[in-house]
A and B are shown apart, each in its own frame.
Chain A
Amino acid sequence: MVLSRAVQRRALIKAIVHLAAAAPLALMVSRTLWHPESLGANPIATLIDNLGLWALRLLLVTLALTPLRILTRSSAWLFYRRLLGLWAALYALLHLLMYVLVDQRVDLRVLLEDVIKRPWITVGFAAILILLALTVTSTEAMRRRLRKNWQRLHNGVYVAAILGVWHYLWQVKKDLRPPLVYAVILVLLFAIRLWRRRFKATSAPATAPGKT
């Protein structure tokens, strides 16, 4: 009984997390359809920027779960990791699609040139490819099939986060302050993990909970 109540509570929290993660997207869609003027004079740029920002935010939240586990000594956080990671990947993909389909209208010559010639786009594109690879292999079946390699592959989320923040930093014309906030948060999250690794003597939950 105790267990089933915990499961119920987890399901409820998951539903809330889903809703919270979907809310920015729902807001963007409704503004685009019914209040395009609220997106400002350059609505496409607003949408591309916001999708990218939410991808980064959700990615940082996903990466914050392990440090939260360390700090609170509760592994409950990890139940929401895959869910949040998938939402981050969705926002990142929409960010790319908005640029490719709506802004550039699938002008492949321009896109190829962008990815090859402009390092900040190369970096962002690489981050999204990684997130897509993680998405495709995020199922339990894939996890079993890839065994040890699965964890190796999914450590790529750190690389994706670094590339994502780098992409944002590089894209800015002059005012680096907003992307630096993301960079500082990312560094802090890494710092907590490293600090934890150093003092691993203290109790460590053996493995992450499997199912989400």
Chain B
Amino acid sequence: MRYRRADEPKGSEITPESVWTARRSVVKSLLGAGAIGAVATPGWAAGSPTGRILEAKHNPAYGAEDTPNTWDDVTTYNNFYEFGTDKSDPARNAGSLRPAPWSVTIAGEVQQRGTFALEDLLKPHPLEERIYRLRCVEAWSMVIPWVGFPLADLIKRLQPTSKAKFVAFTTLKDPVQMPGQRGGVLDWPYVEGLRMDEAMHPLAFMAVGLYGRVLPNQSGAPLRLVVPWKYGFKSAKSIVRIDFLERPPTTTWAASNPREYGFFANVNPAVDHPRWSQKTERRIGGGVFAPRIQTRPFNGYTEVASLYSGLDLSRWF
């Protein structure tokens, strides 16, 4: 038999976690947490978000017109082949990823080269919340409240040289942590890239969280790219390496099937995928009887159109 020490609380005296987290949220709302502290969990999040709370201010310039998808939708319907090819696989299998400690290697045509601990890389960047539409190349879409900072701020701080014309983002390759990499579905590691002017656009975003919490593993913890005017596969997840390049990088999906996936991958209802139409999309969360919605050029972010003036978008898809 095990004896209870005098200073040890009885089981009945321990406050259940659900109770103390509820108390904390009351305290936080009393303190007006939504204003400057953590982003308060809004009412439209049905399933309760989990994970460490991040301090971030909502940026009202992005996404007021769209109602975000629920935490459950965002975190259980994912394409992250490193954890399996079914949409439900990442939520099931991503527990094996260890997002901390994490380091990111900066290499290529850039002055601040080296391998940095994630905390050091993030420290100078104040976090903000942006609500972006995400349009998957498979013709479905979501609306997601990301927490992060503009990619341009990071790039400026790393000081690329004049030779740097492209940026490439590489996902972790570790079949132990990422069981999907044990099969040869794609050529691992996953690499995605942007032209430098695309990367410097104010919409390009580095995310470390969603719904005011740190990114869950299945959403690309601990650091991912978000490029809202491009199909979702451009937004590399669980990034361990950023290369500044003179030549365009070989990107994973474009290499895997160049007929179906291009380097630019801008959302474009006028250019169909060879096997399906891109004119409409199914907005996740509408239920069984909601109609499809029209897909908009650049996913509605037409402010990026000037980046592609003079470019034949049906050829450079």
Residues of A in contact with B (beta carbons under 8 Å apart)? 32, 36-37, 39-45, 47, 102-105, 110, 113-114, 117-118, 120, 170-171, 173-175, 177
Give bound CA distance, A41 to B73, whole Å: 5
B88 and A175 contacting across the interface, CB-CB below 8 Å:
no
Give bound CA distance, A32 to B185, whole Å: 32
Give bound CA distance, A71 to B274, whole Å: 43
Give bound CA distance, A102 to B160, whole Å: 50
> Given A118-B275, A175-B185, are A44 and B288 neighbors across the interface (CB < 8 Å)?
yes
List of B residues within 8 angstroms of A37 by Cβ: 72
List of B residues within 8 angstroms of A36 by Cβ: 287-288
Q: Which of A32, A42, A117 contacts B282 (CB 8 A)?
A: A42
Give bound CA distance, A39 to B284, whole Å: 12
A43 and B186 contacting across the interface, CB-CB below 8 Å:
no
List of A residues within 8 angstroms of B179 by Cβ: none
Residues of B in contact with A (beta carbons under 8 Å apart)? 69, 72-73, 76-77, 81, 85, 87-88, 138, 140, 183, 185-186, 256-257, 272, 274-277, 279-280, 282, 284-285, 287-289, 291-292
What is the chain A residue whose CB lies nearest that of B257? Answer: A174
A40 and B77 contacting across the interface, CB-CB below 8 Å:
yes
A174 and B185 contacting across the interface, CB-CB below 8 Å:
yes
Give bound CA distance, A32 to B289, whole Å: 10
Least distance between B80 CB and chain A CB atoms (Å): 13
Give bound CA distance, A33 to B155, whole Å: 50
A110 and B288 contacting across the interface, CB-CB below 8 Å:
no
A40 and B88 contacting across the interface, CB-CB below 8 Å:
yes
> Considering the complex of A and B, which 10 residue pairs feature the smallest CB-CB distances, nearest first?
A41-B77, A175-B85, A41-B73, A41-B284, A43-B288, A175-B185, A174-B185, A42-B284, A118-B275, A105-B291
Q: Which of A42, A43, A117 contacts B87 (CB 8 A)?
A: A42
A173 and B138 contacting across the interface, CB-CB below 8 Å:
yes
Some 27 contacts from A to B, beta carbons below 8 A apart, are A32-B288, A36-B287, A39-B288, A40-B77, A40-B87, A40-B88, A41-B73, A42-B77, A42-B140, A42-B284, A43-B287, A45-B140, A102-B289, A103-B292, A104-B292, A105-B291, A105-B292, A110-B279, A114-B276, A120-B275, A170-B275, A171-B275, A173-B138, A174-B81, A174-B256, A174-B257, A175-B85
List of A residues within 8 angstroms of B272 by Cβ: 117
